[in-house]
């Protein structure tokens, strides 16, 4: 993962205090001030925001630290982000090194009362898979996601576990709305479990098949539905090496795939050129790291996008 060094880490303590004083009144990224609920929760990026909004309902104001049209790979912290954290009671994250910028940011915010909910707690994880770079060694960038693949939210049942962890954390931090958190979480996890049953039925006939995505976001999804996920590069911002292209070309030919899975935010010419050379299409599988502002406010976005992903995946298999 490409981790940007937050602005705050480059400032001395005296300079930081001046910057915060100057910028605090100017920042636009703060929870709604008019009629906002007193209990304030900050989330990191899209899936965590959707899950937290589903659980919080009317009990809390939920604000995303990362703009919804920006993924965690591209986030660079600003002084105004400290003010958001200073005003919050709870911070919810995905964990598994998906948000490597957080620790220093939280420390610099100095909010000793802030409760951090790691939604990955207790979830069975998969190791990051790295391919040989064609020179007899593993690529150095494979360490950016650590040794564990962080994309747990793309398995609906693991997503349900994340929702339950968020529920428990919010109840502990805000027991006054415990019934609301329980009720909201129960309704949303029921939707996720129904979604899982739906997807299982739709993909049953494809069990054992391989699909190819641009970057390594799909192993949890693949494991849940008995598929194999191949990928071109480890991280979305990377360009594939010749060895990557050769490996994927052999995989596509061997599996008789009809399409490669791209991502909404990625328009890689190398991927499109590979698809053209292989005589296959490019279809979209949305890993849900970004969305519009409107979509980020609706927890139903997760279910809608997963259904769309499955429809496009079936096209990749030739349906």
pLDDT at 35 over 50: no
Q: Which residues are paired to 92 by β-bridges?
A: 43, 117
Three-state secondary-structure class, residue 227: coil
**Ramachandran angles phi, psi of 12, nearest 5°:** -70, 165
Cα 123 versus chain centre, distance = 15
pLDDT at 270: 67
First CA to last CA distance, the chain: 34
CATH number belonging to domain 203-316: 3.40.50.1980
Instruction: Quote the pLDDT of residue 236.
Output: 62
Contact 89, 251 (CB under 8 A): no
pLDDT number for residue 20: 36
pLDDT (0 to 100) of residue 63 = 97
Q: Which of 94-103, 149-158, 227-236 has the lowest mean pLDDT?
A: 227-236
Query: What percent of the chain is modeled with pLDDT above 70?
Result: 79
What is the C-alpha to C-alpha distance for residues 114 and 85, in angstroms, rounded to an integer?
8
Question: Are the CB atoms for 166 and 160 separated by under 8 Å?
Answer: no
**CB atoms near residue 5 (< 10 Å):** 11
Find out whether 284 and 268 touch, Cβ atoms under 8 Å.
Answer: no
Question: In this predicted structure, which of 70-74, 157-161, 312-316 has the lowest mean pLDDT?
Answer: 70-74
Handedness of CA 192, 43, 31, 115 (dihedral sign): positive
Residue 129 or 172, more confident: 172
Q: How far is CA 276 from CA 86, 105, 213, 270, 317, in A?
A: 51, 44, 15, 10, 17
pLDDT band at 259 (very low <50, low <70, confident <90, very high): confident
Q: Is pLDDT at 33 greater than 50 in this prediction?
A: no
Ordered by start, the domain boundaries in the chain are 7-196, 203-316
The whole-number pLDDT of residue 30 equals 36
pLDDT of residue 134: 41
Indicate if 203-316 has the same CATH topology as 7-196.
yes
Q: Is a pLDDT exceeding 50 seen at residue 137?
A: no
In the predicted model, is pLDDT for residue 3 greater than 50? no
H/E element holding 61? Answer: strand 61-64
Span 7-196 CATH architecture? 3-Layer(aba) Sandwich (3.40)
14 contacts 37 by C-beta, under 8 angstroms: no
- pLDDT of 165 above 90: yes
Mean pLDDT of the chain, nearest integer: 83
Dist CA 295 CA 116 (whole Å):
25
- Residue 275 pLDDT level (bands cut at 50, 70, 90): confident
- Give me the helices (H) in 60-126, please: 79-87, 102-109
How many residues are there in the chain? Answer: 319
Taking residues 289-299, what's their average pLDDT?
Answer: 96
The predicted structure's pLDDT at residue 14: 33
Q: How far apart are CA 173 and CA 179, in angstroms?
A: 13
């Amino acid at each position: 993962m490409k981790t940007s060094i937050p602005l705050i880490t480059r400032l001395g303590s005296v300079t930081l205090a001046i910057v915060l004083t100057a910028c605090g009144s100017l920042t636009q990224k703060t929870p709604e001030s008019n009629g906002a609920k007193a209990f304030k929760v900050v989330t990191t990026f899209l899936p965590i925001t959707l899950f937290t909004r589903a659980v919080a309902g009317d009990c809390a104001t939920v604000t995303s630290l990362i703009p919804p049209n920006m993924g965690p790979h591209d986030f660079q912290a600003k002084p105004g982000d400290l003010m958001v954290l200073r005003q919050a009671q709870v911070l919810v994250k995905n964990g598994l090194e998906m948000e490597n910028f957080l620790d220093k940011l939280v420390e610099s915010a100095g909010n000793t009362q802030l409760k951090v909910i790691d939604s990955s707690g207790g979830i069975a994880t998969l190791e990051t898979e790295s391919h040989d770079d064609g020179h007899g060694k593993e690529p150095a960038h494979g360490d950016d996601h650590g040794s564990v693949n962080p994309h747990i939210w793309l398995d609906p049942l693991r997503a349900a576990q994340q929702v339950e962890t968020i529920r428990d954390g919010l109840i502990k931090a805000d027991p006054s709305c415990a019934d609301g958190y329980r009720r909201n979480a129960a309704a949303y996890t029921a939707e996720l479990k129904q979604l899982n049953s739906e997807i299982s039925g739709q993909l049953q006939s494809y069990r054992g098949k391989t699909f190819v995505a641009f970057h390594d976001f799909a192993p949890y999804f693949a494991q849940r539905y008995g598929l194999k996920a191949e990928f071109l590069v480890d991280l979305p911002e990377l360009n594939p090496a010749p060895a990557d292209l050769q490996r994927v070309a052999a995989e596509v030919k061997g599996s008789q795939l009809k399409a490669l899975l791209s991502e909404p935010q990625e328009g890689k010419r190398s991927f499109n050129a590979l698809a053209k050379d292989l005589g296959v299409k490019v279809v979209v599988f949305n890993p849900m790291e970004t969305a519009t502002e409107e979509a980020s406010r609706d927890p139903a976005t997760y279910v809608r996008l997963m259904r769309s992903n499955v429809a496009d995946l079936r096209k990749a298999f030739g349906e």
